[in-house]
Chain A
Amino acid sequence: MDWLVTVMEMGVKIITLPNYFVFIFIGLFIGVVFGAIPGISGLMAIILLVPFTYPLDIIQAMLLLTSTYCGGVFGGSISSILLNTPGAPESVCTTFDGYPMTRKGLAAKALGTAIECSAIGGFLSAVVMTVACAPLASVALSFDSPEYFALVFMGLCVVTSISGKSLVNGVIALFIGLFLASVGVSPIQGVPRYDLGFPQLRAGIDFIIVMIGVFALGEIFVRFETLSREESKKIEGKVGTNLLTIKEFLALKWTILRSFVTGTFIGFLPGAGATIASFVSYGMARNLSDDPGKFGTGVLEGVAAPETANNAATGGAMIPLLTLGIPGGGATAVMISAFMIKGLQPGPLVFMTNPELIGSIFVGMIIANLLIIIFGFIAVRAFTQFLKVPYAILASGITLFCFLGAFAKRNVMYDVWVMLIFGIIGYFMKKYEYPVAPLVLGMVLGPLAEDKFLSSLISYQNDFTIFFTRPISGTMIMVAFCFLMYPLVMMVWKKRRSANNT
């Protein structure tokens, strides 16, 4: 109980002291803007902000970074919905239904849904994290390599939900992604693979670069081909935001709740993160829906599920960081450095000795997620103006950011060439109806799957049954098989029904 009192006290303090509160504002603003620009991500914003935290005190620094993090995850949905170009892998799922909504003229509705669901997911998970961080941390610790592998495997099986028209093409794309992920030095044994003698290839192919290429550049190539036939000046829908009606919200409540639980749960496991959370939530929403066939054509659930989940994962990711000192992903890893600059090592010790600090981080995230609603409106209003710009001009701007983003990753031209090549690959994939999302999914999860699979086997004397006999791992593998079998079962059932009808 003392703990909750501390949290409340810190909450009052932060809200009443403008020199703390202002950092939440700044962080959210920067996060949303960076997240929304295609080719550049919220993570990049956090990395760039760390040097600016040197003169701040630790609470101010953490408020700034955590709200940038929350804002960045939300911001990614804006470019996903409006331009079909996710800024980070966790926003990939939002493109599936968000962009079709934009093409149908429902951009305002899609953005409104994204704002509300991001805020709800983030807010609830921050509350859960505040109340139950210690028990959740011990749940996270109970996960060993087999459980991680099962989780990653579950993420991979979502391919059946995100393949669009052809499941076979989706699976092919996934395997290409897995293959590309295996290029470079293997994580456990350190053996170079498929490097063809080039040191650049030995370093592997960066999935962010590939993502910028296949999504953003590929989309531009495809649109350019049809541009002359499009009515170029026609604005796609009402510009602005359109909140959900109460009826729509009630229809979505289970989707939101489910995605929030999935997001928080997957988010707090170190190393897994928001990407798996958003993919799995999307897959669940689709499989449990009455009409899965509609997914991908622009349905509200398809935006609500990944947006709730990826923001819920932000709260979850803070749990292992603050209670154990273990970062769950890129953003939290950067936050560790902000701690260390102040001479603090996050972990069990700080958690016990410095409850004010931890409490204020939690409160800061709760406030930041609530403020997403306000910031979301402002940002969306600004960014939707871009839809008024003719696509030819807009596309050249996006291309510029693609090049910038690819180059900024390591400051080498090589990455820009890789991005261009994948832009062309993306164009042909889209043209021949091979979905690009499974390719990115394979590239993100491939290395994790390999690492966890091998360390499980080393750890349990090459016993393959370990994935099925451990309770948590076994359950997740079963869910994964449900994901796999579901479309087949549906297909058989539909055939039978249509046979009966005739």
Chain B
Amino acid sequence: MKRRFVFIAAILILCVGVQVQAAGYPDRPIDLIVPWGAGGGADQLGRAIGPALEKVLKVSLPVINIPGAVSGVGLAKVRAARKDGYTISVFTADAVGADSQGKLAVHVNEFIPLARLMFAPSFLFVHYDSPMKTFEDLIAYTKKNPDKLKVAITGSGSPDDLTVKYLRKNGIKMISVPYPKPGERYASVLGKHNELLYEQAGDVSQFILAKKMRPMVVFLPKRVESMSDVPAIQEFGLEIYLSQYRGLLINQGVPQEKVDVLAKAIKEAYDSPSFQKFLKKMYCMPDSYMPPEEFKKFIENDFEAYTKLWE
């Protein structure tokens, strides 16, 4: 009788133990995967949100860079990870673009979006010493010398690639050269191996300020307030606005309670002064944040827009 009692008690204690463990999520470090190389925008987001989340969740979030294949390599790692909520990943619009053409190693809908954290328009930059100063110069040059200019982009199937293809269709013929690591992408322009760079302003703000690169055009219907001297692409009768957005996601199959814990913590981290300062520095739109459900719909819409563009 006594033994049975001890046995039941032990089971009860075990149950309590298990419950406490579930409630205690997260109780160990969470891997924060950045599916791009160090130094670029996705990486900077990881490095900014990591410490901010750490303050909320009270566990550390080591950043792990896994670059390659328009973030496909890193996302494949997330997909292969355990569904215990201890692996989250930065996610960029590039993955949606690649997935819409079946060029991503995984599918975007195999993940649960946690939040959109950054929303930033894209620019075309030129090396500061280049004889071409404005977008008009560029149009004139490519008319005379098609396929002579090279644009450094992230990878084939990315919004970068799509935009360059769109420009090509409209008579601005350039070659795009993929560099999965942002550092190498910037170095290729700084070293004048490629004349142009497709990028968001925040990622290269130091090169703009140091007079190494010059913004030519912003891919938006209207000019950006903080950079009002840079013309919008619509002014040239062209309509392509593939803005970059970045957020966080987690593998499908992670229990909903854990997803909720993370989503709540991420919102709190987003509102923290340090992260807000970061957003400003990166030239992001003030309404960058989107909660999981809304972000999911946003991605679905974006996916459709891409599919249409490719046709």
List the interface of chain A (C-beta within 8 A of B): 47, 51, 54, 140-145, 184-192, 199-200, 202-204, 270-271, 320, 324-327, 333-334, 336-337, 340-341, 343, 345, 347-350, 352, 410-412, 414, 447, 451, 455, 458-459, 461
Residue of B62, B65, B69, B194 touching A185 (CB-CB under 8 A) = B69
A336 and B182 alpha carbons, distance in the complex (Å)? 13
Decide yes or no: A199 and B80 within 8 Å by CB, A141-B191, A348-B210 being known contacts: yes
At the interface with chain A, which of B163-171, B173-181, B235-243? B173-181
| Beta-carbon nearest neighbor of A139 in chain B | B191
Q: B104 interface residue, CB < 8 Å from A?
A: yes
Contacts of A341 in B (CB 8 A): 47, 51
At the interface with chain A, which of B6-14, B71-79, B257-265, B287-295? B71-79
Decide yes or no: A184 and B76 within 8 Å by CB, A190-B105, A348-B206, A348-B207 being known contacts: yes
B247 to chain A, nearest CB (A): 19
Contacts of A190 in B (CB 8 A): 69-70, 72, 98, 103-105, 155-157
Contacts of A411 in B (CB 8 A): 31, 86
A32 and B92 alpha carbons, distance in the complex (Å)? 38
Is B103 in contact with A326, judged by CB distance below 8 angstroms?
A: no
B141 to chain A, nearest CB (A): 18
Is B48 in contact with A340, judged by CB distance below 8 angstroms?
A: yes
Contacts of B192 in A (CB 8 A): 141
Q: How many residue-residue contacts, CB under 8 A, span A and B?
A: 152
Is A327 in contact with B183, judged by CB distance below 8 angstroms?
A: yes
Q: Which 10 A-B pairs have the closest CB atoms?
A: A333-B38, A141-B191, A190-B69, A326-B183, A144-B193, A348-B210, A185-B69, A185-B105, A199-B80, A203-B77
Q: B134 interface residue, CB < 8 Å from A?
A: no
- Tell me which residues from 19 to 37 in chain B have a Cβ below 8 Å from any Cβ of chain A: 31, 37
Question: Could you name 15 residue pairs across A and B whose Cβ atoms are closer than 8 Å?
Answer: A143-B191, A184-B73, A184-B76, A190-B157, A202-B80, A270-B183, A320-B187, A326-B184, A326-B187, A337-B38, A347-B206, A412-B80, A412-B81, A447-B68, A459-B150
Contacts of B72 in A (CB 8 A): 185, 190
Q: B190 interface residue, CB < 8 Å from A?
A: yes
Is B80 in contact with A200, judged by CB distance below 8 angstroms?
A: yes
Decide yes or no: A333 and B187 within 8 Å by CB, A200-B80, A352-B210, A455-B179 being known contacts: no
Is B206 in contact with A325, judged by CB distance below 8 angstroms?
A: yes
Decide yes or no: A455 and B191 within 8 Å by CB, A185-B72, A190-B72, A190-B156 being known contacts: no
Contacts of A325 in B (CB 8 A): 39, 183, 186, 206
Q: B63 interface residue, CB < 8 Å from A?
A: yes
Is A451 in contact with B31, judged by CB distance below 8 angstroms?
A: no
Is B105 in contact with A192, judged by CB distance below 8 angstroms?
A: yes
A447 and B180 alpha carbons, distance in the complex (Å)? 12
Q: B212 interface residue, CB < 8 Å from A?
A: yes
A410 and B80 alpha carbons, distance in the complex (Å)? 11
Is A187 in contact with B73, judged by CB distance below 8 angstroms?
A: yes
Contacts of A270 in B (CB 8 A): 183-184, 187
- Tell me which residues from 169 to 223 in chain B have a Cβ below 8 Å from any Cβ of chain A: 175, 177-181, 183-184, 186-188, 190-194, 205-207, 209-210, 212
Is B180 in contact with A185, judged by CB distance below 8 angstroms?
A: no
Q: B297 interface residue, CB < 8 Å from A?
A: no
Contacts of A352 in B (CB 8 A): 210
Contacts of B80 in A (CB 8 A): 199-200, 202-203, 412, 414
Residue of B82, B103, B175, B179 touching A189 (CB-CB under 8 A) = B103
| Beta-carbon nearest neighbor of B192 in chain A | A141
Is A187 in contact with B180, judged by CB distance below 8 angstroms?
A: yes
Per-residue contact bits, chain B 30-69, to A (CB 8 Å; 1 contact, 0 not): 0100000111000110011001001000001011111111
A135 to chain B, nearest CB (A): 14
A412 and B78 alpha carbons, distance in the complex (Å)? 11
Is A458 in contact with B210, judged by CB distance below 8 angstroms?
A: no
Given A51-B54, A185-B73, A348-B212, 7 more pairs with CB closer than 8 A: A145-B193, A185-B68, A190-B155, A326-B184, A337-B63, A348-B207, A349-B206
Is B76 in contact with A347, judged by CB distance below 8 angstroms?
A: no
Decide yes or no: A459 and B187 within 8 Å by CB, A188-B156, A340-B47, A411-B31 being known contacts: no
Is B178 in contact with A188, judged by CB distance below 8 angstroms?
A: yes
A441 and B87 alpha carbons, distance in the complex (Å)? 30
| Beta-carbon nearest neighbor of B66 in chain A | A203
A334 and B48 alpha carbons, distance in the complex (Å)? 13
A298 to chain B, nearest CB (A): 38
B304 to chain A, nearest CB (A): 21
A341 and B63 alpha carbons, distance in the complex (Å)? 13
A184 and B194 alpha carbons, distance in the complex (Å)? 29
Contacts of B54 in A (CB 8 A): 51
| Beta-carbon nearest neighbor of A340 in chain B | B47
| Beta-carbon nearest neighbor of B181 in chain A | A271
Residue of B39, B147, B212 touching A327 (CB-CB under 8 A) = B39
Is B60 in contact with A51, judged by CB distance below 8 angstroms?
A: yes
Residue of B31, B79, B147, B212 touching A199 (CB-CB under 8 A) = B79
A350 and B209 alpha carbons, distance in the complex (Å)? 11
| Beta-carbon nearest neighbor of B46 in chain A | A337
Decide yes or no: A203 and B103 within 8 Å by CB, A188-B178, A348-B210, A412-B82 being known contacts: no
A202 and B86 alpha carbons, distance in the complex (Å)? 20
Is A333 in contact with B98, judged by CB distance below 8 angstroms?
A: no
Q: Which of B48, B191, B194 has the most CB of A within 10 A?
A: B191
| Beta-carbon nearest neighbor of B180 in chain A | A187
Contacts of A451 in B (CB 8 A): 180
Contacts of B81 in A (CB 8 A): 410, 412
Q: Which of B31, B43, B206 has the most CB of A within 10 A?
A: B206
A451 and B205 alpha carbons, distance in the complex (Å)? 27
| Beta-carbon nearest neighbor of B60 in chain A | A51
Residue of A47, A141, A340 touching B190 (CB-CB under 8 A) = A141
Decide yes or no: A347 and B73 within 8 Å by CB, A141-B190, A337-B47 being known contacts: no
Residue of B31, B184, B206 touching A410 (CB-CB under 8 A) = B31
| Beta-carbon nearest neighbor of A328 in chain B | B183
Residue of B51, B98, B207 touching A54 (CB-CB under 8 A) = B51
A340 and B60 alpha carbons, distance in the complex (Å)? 17
Contacts of B48 in A (CB 8 A): 340
A454 to chain B, nearest CB (A): 8
| Beta-carbon nearest neighbor of A332 in chain B | B38
| Beta-carbon nearest neighbor of A352 in chain B | B210
| Beta-carbon nearest neighbor of A204 in chain B | B73
Is B210 in contact with A189, judged by CB distance below 8 angstroms?
A: no
Decide yes or no: A202 and B105 within 8 Å by CB, A190-B156, A333-B37, A337-B63 being known contacts: yes
| Beta-carbon nearest neighbor of A454 in chain B | B178
